[in-house]
Amino acid sequence: MYITRPSEEKCKMINRNKLGRALRGALIKAKAERRLICGLLPAIAYLEKSPEDVVLCVLPQTRPGDAANHIQTVLLHAFCYENYIPVLEVDSSQKLATYCGVAKKSIDSGQCNCAIIVRDERIQLSENDSIPMSPTEQTLADFYECTIEESPRPVIELPI
């Protein structure tokens, strides 16, 4: 599967100020539909088994001094890039944990270092092998494609 880059006009139309709310909505909806996988190890296990079914990967910014987590994140970014999986970086692992429904104990320790949204298996794949996405998920994937060459990568601020 190959994701095509959106047009310049479409890239300019993406409202970066609303991306945090859009991502929060996509995470909550995916959780309700049982399409959300939280945690680095469960996400890696799913990616290893079925990378073609992953719609988005969401990672919080790595904290300075957390070398092990940084290395895992870099490797996960590379794997997703090789498999055409959009990766969005967010400002807070605690907010991400809240939207994913991670246990309060884990939230207090800041433990939600990865979340992936997988495709809805009830929807058949189209003839062009593109993963079916909701309009919000498509906007988030378009944002990734529009900003793929930006350095440093943009960080989406999740609302409280």
The pTM (predicted TM-score) of the whole model is: 0.87
Domain boundaries, the chain: 8-120+129-148+152-156
| pLDDT value for 2 | 47
Q: What is the pLDDT of residues 43-84, one digit of tens each?
A: 999 999 999 999 999 999 887 888 888 888 889 999 999 999
Tell me the percentage of the chain whose pLDDT exceeds 70.
Answer: 89
Bridge partner list, 112: none
Q: How is domain 8-120+129-148+152-156 classified at the CATH fold level?
A: 60s Ribosomal Protein L30; Chain: A; (3.30.1330)
| pLDDT value for 66 | 80
Structure tokens at 52: 């073609």
DSSP 52-73: GGEEEEEEEPPPTT-HHHHHHH
d(CA 45, CA 74): 16
What is the mean pLDDT of each successive set of 10 residues along the chain, which is 160 residues long? 70 91 96 94 93 95 82 91 95 91 60 88 71 90 93 92
Q: Indicate the average pLDDT of the chain.
A: 87
Pairing of strands 87-90, 54-60: parallel
| pLDDT value for 128 | 63
In the sheet with 115-118, reading across from the earlier edge strand, the strands are 36-38, 115-118, 54-60, 87-90, 155-156
